[in-house]
Amino acid sequence: MLRKEEVTFRKRTRASAARYREARKRTPWGVHSNYRLVDPYPVYVKKASGSRIWDADANEYIDFQMAFGALVSGHSHPELVRAVGEQIKRGTIYGFEWEGTAKLANLICRRFGLNRVKFSTTGLEATMHAVRLARAYTSREKILKFEGCYHGSHDALLVGVKPSKDKAGSASAPNQVPASLGIPDEVIRNTLVAPFNELEAVRSIVERNGDELAGIILEPIPMNMGFVPPKKGFLSGLLRLCREHGMVLIFDEVKTCGKFYNGAAGVFGVQPDLMVLGKAIAGGYPLSVLGGRAEIMEAIVPGKVAHAGTFNSNPVCMTAGIVTLTKVLTANAMDHAASLGETLARGYRDIIGDTGLEARVQWKGLSGTVHFTDGEVANWRDFLRCNIGRWWAYYIMMLNRGIIPMATGPDEQWTVSVQHTKEDISRHLEVFEEVAKQLREKQPPMALVEAL
């Protein structure tokens, strides 16, 4: 079955294969983000609009990847196309602060419950600045993160991201496994790793290292091991631990800030000390935010705590942010997208139940995923039990039928945008029902998680 689907995929995507061969002549592995590299080769895209995307072979797909969650606005939203086009005529970057920057700062502070903000360009930059600020504020060096969570590819947090089972160590006190060569040992030693959703294990690690820990950083809903909601009391328990030990609690909401109107902090009623925002808040333009309590943010003092960037707060991205938050990702629009997301997730659940497929759907609002396993996925160790081979079969079968079901990889999730329609959801479920029946009949072998 999988071999037949791969043959079909190759026939449908000959232009992508050619683009890949050409790209590899100048670019290692042909992509500019390693997470875009998949077997047998990446899909290369020509254009996109609304909920649709067209590849280099002119194949049309209904897109539920939405740029790894950056496009809750959908592709080329008309409001953004108009406003950004007008701003480009007035200039793209000035080397000075743009006159409208304070407007966006006010919008973000009100929407996400922040006192102060600093703008950057990528999520990587913002999490890097968050860690630096926590260390400067507390005069401590160690940071605690969670196994399986990804916070950008800078050294301080590129530890314990996707460790294999043989390297991961104890489930309650995971090893500090670097996710890349080139990270100094002293950096790795300062990044502690804990299991997500296991508050007592976190408490034990904190109590052993409390005087050295500057803070805890986490995705309130991890979205790099699928879609993993926090257990009741977990987030509030982390906040209490930080208060008890003088640490800074950092929510990495690069993804979740666009999945919920007030972010995950608003959904779960836990306000961290610092928050990192990105992806969807500027409708597909590069913008990230470090925000939080005034007392901590005011520690960013020129000449003492560095925060810089030539492209920070450029008028194009600021304009995109203002328009996205006021005209695109409105409460009504996001409620509608969340309603469609609920329909999609419940449809998946019903089809899985009807076909007897060994899989589990985890979701909230407009985002979710299907884990090919028979139990709950509450942390990275649970994710390691998922059938990765079956996920890849599902993914390529959905692609061949014109649906990009979610972001590329079994550790990702779908995004329903404000431009998706009921018809898009119906078609997605129609295709999944066909695929699920075939997967149930011919189950491909388990693949190693290292294939990620």
Locate all alpha helices (DSSP H) within 324-421, ordered by sequence. Answer: 331-355, 380-383, 388-400
Query: Residues 362, 372: contact at Cβ < 8 Å?
Result: no
- Mean pLDDT of all residues belonging to the chain: 95
Question: One-letter amino acid identity for 348?
Answer: Y
Task: Supply 178's token pair.
Answer: 């670097």
Residue 110 has pLDDT above 80, yes or no: yes
Task: Supply 378's token pair.
Answer: 């509450």
Cα within 13 Å of Cα(134), Cβ side: 32
pLDDT band with cut points at 50, 70 and 90 for residue 443: low
CATH code for residues 2-72+330-451: 3.90.1150.10
Mean pLDDT computed over 317-321: 98
Residue 447 has pLDDT above 70, yes or no: no
If we measure between CA atoms, which residue out of 220, 218, 228, 230 comes closest to residue 193? Answer: 218
**Cα separation of 221 and 233, whole Å?**
13
Looking at residue 94, the DSSP 8-state letter turns out to be -
Cα within 13 Å of Cα(109), Cβ side: 15
The residues carrying an active-site annotation are 150, 252, 279
Task: Supply 429's token pair.
Answer: 């479920």
Looking at residue 325, the DSSP 8-state letter turns out to be I
Mean pLDDT computed over 343-363: 97
Residue 90 has pLDDT above 90, yes or no: yes
Non-local CB neighbours of 79 within 8 Å, separated by 6+ positions:
323, 327, 328
Domain ranges of the chain: 2-72+330-451, 78-328
pLDDT value of residue 2: 77
Residue 448 has pLDDT above 80, yes or no: no
Query: Residues 44, 70: contact at Cβ < 8 Å?
Result: no
Sheet architecture: strand order including 60-63: 45-49, 52-55, 60-63, 403-404
CATH code for residues 78-328: 3.40.640.10
pLDDT value of residue 451: 34
CA torsion angle for 340, 346, 350, 352 (degrees, to 10)? Answer: 100
Mean pLDDT computed over 121-126: 97
Residue with tokens 């060994």: 358
Task: Supply 250's token pair.
Answer: 């950092």
How do beta strands 288-292 and 274-277 pair? antiparallel
Please provide residue 143's backbone torsions phi and psi, each rounded to the nearest 5 degrees. Answer: -125, 140
Mean pLDDT computed over 286-314: 96
pLDDT band with cut points at 50, 70 and 90 for residue 441: confident
pLDDT band with cut points at 50, 70 and 90 for residue 62: very high
pLDDT band with cut points at 50, 70 and 90 for residue 452: very low
Angle at alpha carbon of residue 213, lines to 208 and 216, rounded to 5° = 105
Mean pLDDT computed over 6-34: 95
pLDDT value of residue 210: 77
If we measure between CA atoms, which residue out of 193, 257, 261, 267 comes closest to residue 236? Answer: 267
